[in-house]
Structure 1
């Protein structure tokens, strides 16, 4: 498989690139710096908000993967991130690609019927803007009917760690383990994302991975 990876130098993006290369996929990594996150990829510098440029880079690929993260503050952060995701969708369409996998956020996962994680008192205040931006982006993706997109929320805790090859897949509910924790290593999350990209098992859906 050949795919374009946006946000390729971030914590999650770089691990998706590494996992994909290990599986024999061809990855075109796009970031502002143009720095290759791992050996064995093609890397280029571009602004993901430039849909025309991203469409040019994506032409001839099988899929687009977005590991982009929100930037800015407050309402501006949310508006900018939705606009960025609109540009990604426009670029995917213009390139003639139907498959799009997006790294989402954990805040919109449900901890009880109708209750999102982001509104719980324990949710970190410093992550609120990022969580709401990802929630707004998910709402946008749910209006996209002409692409086979998958929005992949991480669990409440994700950090660099060990690749075990073990994880569970869920839908809109927050997954917790036997100890009540919602967690995964960035390596296992990346592996699960690449497996989802390969299988296209959950088109036009939000899913999550956790231990």
Structure 2
């Protein structure tokens, strides 16, 4: 059993990761901005008001945690980099520090040409700031997170929606995992499975991985 803190536990990804972890017997602290609006989370979850960009909030939650899941969204470009900096700063030099599991953007994955999906000419403008923000966070982990154990998780770049939990997926590195038709598809529910599997059996420490069917 692990002690897991999920920042952004009220969101689409965070709520499913929280539920998946609880269903497997883990203790979960759900750090959200508005605890009163998250009655849909499992009853055994401990709800707290918490922000991954607040050094004080992070330090309050770190001591008993085995893993810190970052599943935040809905902010301006700097949100994800601020969270990464705050978490790494709080954990650096801490003995037996928890791992960071950062739920990142699929648009940071690489096309067959070796370019990022977010850099493609037809990438939607309305998603560009968030995509660049997630890319900033990934760059930070790769270049500046020495002494801290982290994992950056990218869903598919396009076909990623709420759906069915199958418990099955395949993993890859910096390029999407595709099926026989060249599609990269995953449900939020099975992303949650992949995340909790990684917490239970670490296979991608200090690197990024992606998952799809």
Displacement after TM superposition at 1:60 (Å):
1.4
Contact 2:93 2:147 in 1 (8 A): no
Q: Flag structure 2 segments of 5+ consecutive residues without an equivalent.
A: none
Counterparts of residues 38-187 of structure 1 (less than 5 Å): 38-69=42-73, 71-72=75-76, 77=77, 79-93=78-92, 96=95, 97-143=97-143, 144-156=145-157, 157-187=159-189
Contact 1:155 1:210 in 2 (8 A): yes
Structure 2 equivalent of residue 194 of structure 1: 196
Local SS of the residue matching 1:209: strand
Q: Does 1:25 align with 2:26?
A: yes
Displacement after TM superposition at 1:94 (Å):
7.3
TM-score calculated relative to the size of structure 2: 0.90
TM-score calculated relative to the size of structure 1: 0.91
Local SS of the residue matching 1:189: helix
- Partners of 2:167 and 2:62 in 1: CA distance: 29
Q: How many residue pairs end up in the alignment? A: 206
Across the aligned residues of Structure 1 and Structure 2, the Cα RMSD in angstroms comes to: 1.7
Instruction: Spell out structure 1 runs of 4+ moving beyond 6 A.
Output: none
- Partners of 1:66 and 1:94 in 2: CA distance: 20
- Partners of 2:200 and 2:121 in 1: CA distance: 37
- Partners of 1:26 and 1:57 in 2: CA distance: 13
Contact 2:53 2:79 in 1 (8 A): no
Q: Flag structure 1 segments of 5+ consecutive residues without an equivalent.
A: none
